[in-house]
Amino acid sequence: MEHEATQELAAASVPAGGTTKVSDEVIEKIAVAAASSVPGVAEMGGDVARFFNAVLDRVGLDQVGDARRGCSAHVSGDAAVINLVLVIQAGQPVPEVTGQVRARVTEAVEAYGLRVDEVNIRVDDVAMGAPAAPTA
């Protein structure tokens, strides 16, 4: 009798089948957060996205659209292709910054269990203003 109860318990603890799909939007948010954290990345998004963001800032909706701005992703099965549009801080070496962005985005997305096939980057602009000085 005890053997039957053990078998029933073991059968009950087996997870149910099914599928899991991570949406493109989730990967876009992860990629933007990772790319934005790289020193030398001044902003995300192309001219049009930055223009609309400036308008939203003026009307008090400054966080609208920021989470995915400058990024598009396509998830197919367990793999992702990520496209980023960046503004780089003046004086920063493009190959160095984009290499760090690729590495950080890949690491962040792969932490969610997906494989990153490509991280395509377009540098859309250079920010000429000095970066903010650290405060003491």
Q: What integer pLDDT is reported at residue 18 of this predicted model?
A: 87
Mean pLDDT of the chain, nearest integer: 80
Question: 45: pLDDT confidence band, cut at 50, 70 and 90?
Answer: confident
Q: What does the pLDDT look like over 118-129, one tens digit per residue?
A: 999 999 999 887
Question: 46: pLDDT confidence band, cut at 50, 70 and 90?
Answer: low
Q: What integer pLDDT is reported at residue 38 of this predicted model?
A: 97
What single-letter amino acid sits at 136?
A
Q: What integer pLDDT is reported at residue 8 of this predicted model?
A: 59
The dotted CATH code for 21-127 is 3.30.70.1350
Write the DSSP assignment of 25-47 as a string of letters: HHHHHHHHHHHHTSTTEEEES-H
> What does the block give as tokens for 25?
């939007």
Do residues 38 and 115 touch, judged by C-beta distance below 8 A?
Answer: no
Q: What integer pLDDT is reported at residue 70 of this predicted model?
A: 85
Of the candidates 105, 123, 122, the residue with the CA atom closest to the CA atom of residue 114: 105
Long-range contacts of 56-60 (CB under 8 A, 24+ apart): none
Does residue 52 carry a pLDDT above 50? no
Do residues 113 and 99 touch, judged by C-beta distance below 8 A?
Answer: no
